[in-house]
């Protein structure tokens, strides 16, 4: 049974989140190129279904800066072909659902922080740059490069009314006291005050334009050019990855505030359902929105009901107040989005840039510039690859391999020629990053050696590359009439034998300790002397 107090808290949390979401949804819709209605219905549809099925009870979902940037890229890639754009959104939703089904949610925490920092700061800069033209009152461009190149020319044709309105909006956004913005969001204050100012002073500025009242038309995302499938899939994967990362990072914020643990895979499935359904109404996709989630929690939101109330509130605004929203100047939304862009910048990282290791700084800057000037998914991919290579190098440096002679003190009654037996002791991880070191060590084995003991008791991990290298080394030593004895833990032995299609390990002596290895050598020598 729902408690009255909890219901009241969810109501106020949801309504407050909707008030915050309204100007952002309008702004993101316009910025994407799909229009304000697409932004509003993105917040409504995704917000409702992500809350209904999600794994984070207090999370509010809707259009976000990163997702808007990718959607804008899709719209530019398919000019006058919105069917292909909604196909991208639909496929992105399906990919997110598959992420949840295969339980990929837990892996987001392994993305290196410099990659996330560079990406988010890059997105912030993209949002700021793309709002230069609306700020100046001239036609917007979807390309960063085009926008920057056209800045000198656009300054000559600026609309001073737009600059005045955008500047006032920025002042309100940046300087509204926190005591007031906690009660009424600064974005809403700017939206109402500056729009009324523009209306009563008869400013001639570009506005949002007509917003259709009523429910949207249902569109089936099935019509697209098969020749463009490669682009559609690439953009869909970008949206899915970005939406998943964005959502799960926001989920961690919600966890820290509510002292709960979210269900990442359930949340990914819910986000996928919401984004896939967005495509049916021509809405832009989104993700878990940090600011709206924080507002919801601080305003009392306790359960998934708050997110659903947020969506219903926005729907009522669309159905009954669309004519008023159509009068909002684009320069006002530009001011709101510029503040959003500045908020996305990772100040935590920027403050310590001169103190962090150069490698981390290089990764961050690489992702940052690739995000702005090249491609979002390439930026993340390059960053993760770069960081992974550095991590592999560091792990490989910690792995120790040393060759030593057989000690006579290993066992009291040993009579083994030290020159004929060598031990190669491995301490650390044996994987593709260190397997080549093993090859070099084996090559340095003395020619007169008869036995090589490969001691892997201190090895924590063996991957497939290392297993194949061990096979090759056994064959290489066998060709020189050198017998290999492996010392492995039981689970490692089981793993090797399971993959032993050529019976190499089956025909190799595998023991669990050094005493057993010594006994094997003694037994061989005894048989030879016999």
Distance CA(47)–CA(14), nearest Å, equals 10
Q: Does the pLDDT of residue 530 top 60, yes or no?
A: no
At residue 482, the pLDDT reads 85
Cβ within 8 Å of residue 423, ≥6 positions away: 403, 404, 405, 406, 452, 453, 455, 514
Would you give the distance in Å from CA 247 to the centre of its chain? 9
3-class secondary structure, 453: strand
Whether the per-residue pLDDT at 515 is higher than 70: the answer is yes
Residues 244, 246, 251, 252, CA torsion sign: positive
pLDDT band at 47 (very low <50, low <70, confident <90, very high): very high
Q: From CA 283, how far away is CA 87, in angstroms rounded?
A: 12
Predicted confidence at residue 90, as pLDDT, reads 94
- pLDDT 10s digits, 486-514: 888 888 888 888 888 888 888 888 888 88
Give pLDDT, residue 414: 45
457-470 pLDDT per residue, tens: 888 888 888 888 88
For the segment 227-254, the average pLDDT, to the nearest whole number, is 84
Query: Is the pLDDT reported for residue 399 higher than 80?
Result: no
Q: How confident is the model at residue 407 (pLDDT cuts 50, 70, 90)?
A: low
pLDDT of residue 227: 72
Dist CA 178 CA 173 (whole Å): 11
H or E stretch covering 459: strand 451-462
Q: Is the pLDDT confidence value at 209 over 80?
A: no
Mean pLDDT of 286-297: 81
Rounded to whole angstroms, what are the CA distances from 485 to 294, 339, 471, 478, 509? 60, 66, 12, 11, 5
* Angle in degrees, 0-180, between the axes of helices 376-398 and 229-258, rounded to the nearest 10: 60
Write the DSSP symbol of residue 360. H
Q: How far apart are CA 154 and CA 132, in angstroms?
A: 9
Q: 485 or 397: which carries more pLDDT confidence?
A: 485
Q: Which residue has the higher pLDDT, 362 or 258?
A: 362
Q: Does 342 score more than 50 pLDDT?
A: yes
Judging by DSSP bridges, how do beta strands 61-62 and 451-462 pair with one another?
unpaired
The mean pLDDT value for 366-374 works out to 87
In this structure, the chain runs to a length of 530
Determine phi and psi for 7, rounding to 5 degrees: -65, -40
Condensed to tens digits (0 to 9), the pLDDT of residues 111-167 reads 788 887 887 788 788 888 888 888 998 887 767 888 888 888 888 888 899 999 999
Predicted pLDDT of residue 527? 56
Instruction: Look at residue 365 in the predicted model and tell me its pLDDT.
Output: 92
CA 88/CA 383 separation, integer angstroms: 24
Reduced DSSP (H G I as helix, E B as strand, rest coil) percent helix, strand, coil of the chain, to 5: 65, 10, 25
The pLDDT, as a whole number, for residue 352 is 87
481 DSSP assignment: T
Q: Is residue 413 pLDDT above 50, yes or no? A: no
pLDDT band at 528 (very low <50, low <70, confident <90, very high): low
Q: 9 vs 360, which has greater pLDDT? A: 360
- Measured at the CA of 507, the angle between CA 425 and CA 530, to 5 degrees, comes to 90
- Pairwise pLDDT comparison (384 vs 396), residue with the higher score: 384
C-alpha to C-alpha distance for 55 and 350, rounded to whole angstroms: 32
Residue 408 is given by DSSP the state: T
Inform me whether the pLDDT recorded for 408 exceeds 70: no
Residue 95: predicted pLDDT: 95
Residue by residue, DSSP assigns 124-143 as HHHHHHHTHHHHHTS---S-
Q: What is the mean pLDDT of the chain?
A: 83
Given CA atoms 52, 56, 58, 62 in this order, what sign does their dihedral have? negative
Give the Cβ contact number of residue 472 at 10 Å.
Answer: 15
DSSP bridge partners of 509: 485
The DSSP line for 103-120 is T-GGGGGGS-HHHHHHHH
CB–CB of 59/250 below 8 Å?
A: yes
- Is the pLDDT at 367 greater than 60? The verdict is yes
Q: Are strands 287-288 and 61-62 parallel, antiparallel or unpaired?
A: antiparallel
Q: pLDDT at position 20, please?
A: 72
pLDDT recorded at residue 223: 65
Sole residue written with tokens 């947020």:
310
How confident is the model over 335-349, as a mean pLDDT?
83
DSSP code string of 159-197:
-HHHHHHHHHHHHHHHHS-HHHHTTS-HHHHHHHHHHHH
Beta-strand pair 400-405/421-430: antiparallel
Q: What 3-state class would DSSP assign to 374?
A: coil
SS3 413: coil
Taking each helix axis from N to C end, the angle separating 36-53 and 264-280, rounded to the nearest 10 degrees, works out to 140
pLDDT at 411: 47
What are the pLDDT digits (tens) for 87-127? 999 999 999 999 999 988 777 667 788 887 887 788 788 88
Read off the pLDDT band of 455 (50, 70, 90): confident
* The pLDDT value given to residue 377: 67
Q: What is the dihedral of CA 374, 379, 382, 384, to 10 degrees?
A: 180
Give the whole-angstrom CA distance, residue 384 versus residue 378. 10
pLDDT interval class at 430 (50, 70, 90) = confident
Q: Is pLDDT of 474 > 70?
A: yes
Q: What is the pLDDT of residues 18-35, one digit of tens each?
A: 877 887 888 888 888 888
What is this structure's pTM? 0.69
Residue 458's pLDDT is what?
86
* Max CA separation in the chain (angstroms): 111
Structure tokens at 501: 């299609």
Mean pLDDT score, 250-256: 76
Closest CA to 74 of 91, 62, 61, 60: 91
| pLDDT of amino acid 224 | 65
For residues 353 and 439, give the distance between their C-alpha atoms in angstroms, rounded to a whole number. Answer: 40
Kindly list the structural domains of the chain, giving each domain's residue range(s) and its CATH number in brackets, ordered by start: 4-389 (no CATH), 400-529 (3.30.750.24)
In this prediction, residue 369 carries a pLDDT of 92
- pLDDT exceeds cutoff 50 at 231: yes
């Amino acid at each position: 049974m729902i408690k009255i107090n909890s219901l009241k808290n969810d109501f106020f949390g949801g309504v407050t989140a909707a008030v915050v979401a309204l100007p952002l949804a309008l702004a993101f819709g316009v910025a994407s190129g799909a229009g304000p209605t697409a932004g509003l219905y993105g917040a409504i549809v995704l917000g409702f279904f992500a809350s209904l099925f999600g794994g984070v009870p207090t999370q509010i979902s809707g259009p976000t800066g990163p997702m808007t940037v990718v959607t804008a890229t899709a719209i530019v890639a398919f000019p006058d072909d919105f069917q292909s754009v909604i196909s991208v959104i639909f496929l992105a939703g399906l990919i997110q659902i598959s992420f949840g089904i295969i339980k990929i949610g837990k892996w987001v925490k392994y993305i290196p922080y410099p990659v996330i920092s560079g990406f988010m700061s890059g997105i912030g800069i993209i949002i700021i740059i793309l709002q230069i033209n609306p700020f100046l009152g001239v036609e917007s461009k979807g390309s960063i490069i085009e926008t920057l190149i056209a800045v000198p020319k656009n300054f000559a044709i600026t609309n001073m009314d737009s600059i005045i309105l955008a500047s006032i909006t920025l002042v309100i956004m940046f300087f509204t006291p926190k005591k007031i913005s906690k009660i009424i969001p600064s974005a809403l204050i700017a939206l109402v005050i500056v729009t009324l100012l523009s209306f009563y002073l008869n400013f001639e500025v570009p506005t949002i334009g007509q917003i259709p009242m009523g429910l949207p038309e249902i569109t089936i995302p099935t019509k697209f050019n098969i020749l463009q499938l490669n682009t559609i899939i690439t953009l869909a994967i970008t949206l899915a990855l970005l939406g998943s990362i964005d959502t799960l990072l926001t989920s961690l914020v919600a966890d820290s505030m509510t002292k709960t643990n979210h269900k990442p895979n359930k949340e990914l499935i819910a986000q996928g359902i919401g984004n896939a359904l967005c495509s049916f109404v021509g809405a832009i996709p989104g993700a878990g929105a940090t600011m709206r989630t924080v507002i919801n929690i601080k305003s009392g939101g306790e359960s998934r009901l708050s997110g659903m109330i947020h969506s219903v509130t926005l729907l009522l605004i669309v159905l009954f107040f669309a004519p008023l929203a159509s009068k909002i100047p684009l320069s006002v939304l530009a001011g709101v989005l510029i503040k959003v862009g500045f908020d996305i910048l990772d100040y935590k990282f920027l403050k310590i840039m001169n103190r962090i290791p150069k490698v981390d700084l290089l990764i961050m800057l690489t992702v940052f510039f690739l995000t702005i000037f090249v491609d979002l998914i390439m930026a993340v991919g390059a960053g993760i690859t770069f960081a992974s290579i550095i991590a592999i190098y560091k792990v490989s440096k910690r792995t120790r391999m040393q060759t030593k002679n057989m000690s006579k003190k290993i066992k009291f009654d040993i009579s083994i020629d030290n020159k004929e037996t060598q031990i190669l002791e491995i301490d650390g991880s044996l994987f593709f990053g260190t397997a080549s070191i093993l090859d070099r060590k084996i090559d340095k084995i003395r020619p007169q050696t008869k036995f090589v003991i490969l001691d892997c008791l201190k090895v924590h991990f063996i991957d497939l590359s290392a297993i194949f290298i061990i096979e090759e080394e056994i064959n290489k030593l066998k060709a020189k009439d050198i017998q290999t004895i492996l010392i492995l833990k039981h689970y490692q032995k089981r793993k090797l034998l399971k993959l032993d299609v050529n019976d190499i390990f089956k025909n190799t002596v595998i023991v669990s300790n050094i005493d057993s290895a010594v006994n094997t050598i003694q037994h061989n020598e005894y048989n030879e002397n016999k």
